[in-house]
Amino acid sequence: MPSIKVNGKRYEIEIDLQTPLLWYLRDHLGLMGAKYSCGIAECGACTVHVDGEAVLACVTPLEDVVGTSVTTIEGLAGNMADALFDAWTAEDVPQCGYCQPGQIMTASAFLSRNPKPTDAQIDEAMSGVLCRCGTYSAVRNAIHRAARRLQP
Ligand code: FES
Ligand code: FES
């Protein structure tokens, strides 16, 4: 039986492996943090981590993630997560909130690779996560704030 680890817990996958990861997370595991919006890799609302890399769950079939470790916003933990959550609060980032799990999951994977980013690097890294409420500058400020806190 194919299996997958999600937020540290292993699951046997008993559904069609062509099913998108996002549907599995939301409909089968009840993890509603990753959002469905465009469904065609255009908005980033469904971003999760697969083995630490940001991945668009709406266009990722389960067969591509069998045996991997998936993290959703519900399972994001540790120093990076604490720094991001606190920075998001301090900068008052969320408006309607719909895009925010995707923003934070993308920011987390990005900061792991680039702990001292410039504005331009942040803008490029975050460009795939759309926000109809226009929180882009607040997101950028929050990423800088989290990066400062995470500096050794
Ligand atoms: S819902 Fe996946 S990129 Fe928009
Ligand atoms: S906070 Fe509303 S879509 Fe981003």
Mind listing the pLDDT tens digit for each residue in 107-124? 999 999 999 999 999 999
pLDDT confidence bin for 74, thresholds 50/70/90? very high
44 lines ligand 1 (CB under 6 A): yes
Q: Give the per-residue pLDDT at 88.
A: 98
130 vs 44: CA distance, rounded Å: 7
Dihedral pair phi/psi, residue 93, rounded to 5°: -70, -55
Alpha-carbon distances, residue 90 vs 84, 93, 139 (angstroms): 10, 8, 11
Alpha carbon of 67 to ligand 2 centroid (Å): 32
Residue 70 · residue 6 · CB < 8 Å? yes
Q: Give the per-residue pLDDT at 112.
A: 97
Alpha-carbon distances, residue 26 vs 30, 31, 67, 145 (angstroms): 5, 5, 19, 31
Does domain 79-150 fall into CATH 3.40.50.620? no
**Which ligand 1 atom sits closest to the C-alpha of 44?**
3
Q: Give the per-residue pLDDT at 152.
A: 84
Tell whether pTM > 0.95: yes
Alpha carbon of 152 to ligand 1 centroid (Å): 34
Structure tokens at 33: 């943090």
Topology, domain 3-75:
Ubiquitin-like (UB roll) (3.10.20)
Instruction: For the chain, give every domain's residue range.
Output: 3-75, 79-150
Structure tokens at 72: 């959703």
Alpha carbon of 51 to ligand 1 centroid (Å): 19
Q: Given CA atoms 57, 61, 62, 63 in this order, what sign does their dihedral have? A: negative
The helix (H) or strand (E) run that includes residue 46 is: none
